[in-house]
Structure 1
Amino acid sequence: SVEMEDIKFHQCVRLARFENDRTISFIPPDGEFELMSYRLNTHVKPLIWVEAVVDPGHSRSRIEYMVKAKSQFKSRSVANNVEIHIPVPSDVDSPSFKTSIGTVRYIPDQDCVVWSIKQFQGQKDFIMTANFGLPSVGADNRDAYMKAPIAVKFEIPYFTVSGVTVRYLKIIEKSGYQALPWVRYITQNGDYQLRMI
């Protein structure tokens, strides 16, 4: 059994019918719309696991990050618009990045690096390295950004973590209007943060 929270229905849904027999009955508006959204409050392994190792190296004036991202969903699925936000010290300079997939950019006003991956195939892992100059960072400053979490954002179409699916879609059309039955599932990250080691 799946525990769903914050269930939200489009205003066209007949809520009394849902409360009575768990059938979602509605008269749809024209065009595409979101019929229902919900959150799960269960512990599931992260769909995209991120590990970051910070290496201060031998020089006190440089720092290197090695970030590994691994998709933990089936290989036939693809996560779209993946963004991994990695906190960095506030006064780093001279950024350089290396990755085999996506793009990486430094955002100084947010003290972070954003690794963007347009499409992340299931059961794959990738590594990104980032090197920075450190003009004045001391141990105190380092501890502050090390405690800040890595945030991950993404969406996976045609995929449900909960296993909730539409068993059937019945269209009752009396006016002769041609309706095309179609269901799309999209899994989006919730509040999803990881700590650096």
Structure 2
Amino acid sequence: MVKVSYILGANIVGIVGFLPSNTYFLFRCVRLSRFENDRTISFIPPDGSFDLMTYRLSTQVKPLIWVEAQVERHSRSRMEIMVKARSQFKERSTATNVEIELPVPSDATNPNVRTSMGSAAYAPENDALRWKIKSFPGGKEYMLRAEFTFPSVTAEEAIPERKAPVRVKFEIPYFTVSGIQVRYLKIIEKSGYQSLPWVRYITMAGEYELRLM
């Protein structure tokens, strides 16, 4: 998603590179004829922040952070969770503020958690274990191991386990999945106002869920 914020009245011209999608949406201030001709996005922006352009990719993209979770019940009163998180992007990029939320049974108690990177905390109000990693470089793999205990119950009293997904949140600065780039950005402002054009790339996880099998 391309976002911009400029002063009202400036005429802004930018050229984007190869756009790997036919499904895109441009804000109403964009001069469509020029964009269709040479991929130049020329517009007079409204006041404030807005989405200049959005697009969808039709190609399959592998998960940037892949999570594998294995659950073992050692008895009716003890469970162990083993999790691997692997970054599937190049080493020159780094994911930040990574948060992996793992579902656990509602009656789990006495968590004992160990991680090879980051920190993990039990969130009983959400029936989840949250694993946070501040910096996750590309091509790396980290592990988490957690043990929980449960009240002693009989087979008749046991509550069926819910199949909640594993949720993953992250950001990757200076990285785009599509490879789209802004080749240049020019601001034409005749009143003499000094402007500082700049472009920042960032990939953010949206609805990013993995199912436990």
User: TM-score, structure 2 length as denominator?
Assistant: 0.77
Q: Which runs of 5+ in 2 are unaligned?
A: 1-18
The AA in structure 2 aligned to 1:115 is W
Question: How far off its partner does 1:26 sit?
Answer: 3.0
2: CA distance, partners of 1:132 / 1:18 = 61
Shift of 1:37: 4.2
* Aligned twin of 1:2: 20
Residues 191 and 173 (structure 1), Cα distance of their counterparts in 2 relative to 1, 3 Å cut:
same
| 1:12-51 equivalent positions in 2, closer than 5 A | 13-14=29-30, 16-17=32-33, 20-21=36-37, 22-27=39-44, 35-51=52-68
Aligned-pair identity in percent equals: 58
Task: Structure 1: give runs of 5+ residues left out of the alignment.
Answer: none
What TM-score results when the alignment is normalised by the length of structure 1? Answer: 0.83
CA contact (8 A) 1:17 1:23 kept: no
Q: Decide which structure has greater helix share.
A: 1
Aligned pairs (5 A) from 1:68-87: 68-87=84-103
2:125 partner SS: helix
> What's the counterpart of residue 191 of structure 1?
207
The structure with the largest alpha-carbon Rg is 2
- 1:122 aligned residue (124, 138, 154): 138
How many equivalent residue pairs?
Answer: 192
RMSD value, Cα: 2.7
Write the letter of the residue equivalent to 2:67: V
Question: 1:60 deviation in Å?
Answer: 2.3
Corresponding residue for residue 182 of structure 2: 166
* Larger relative strand fraction: 2
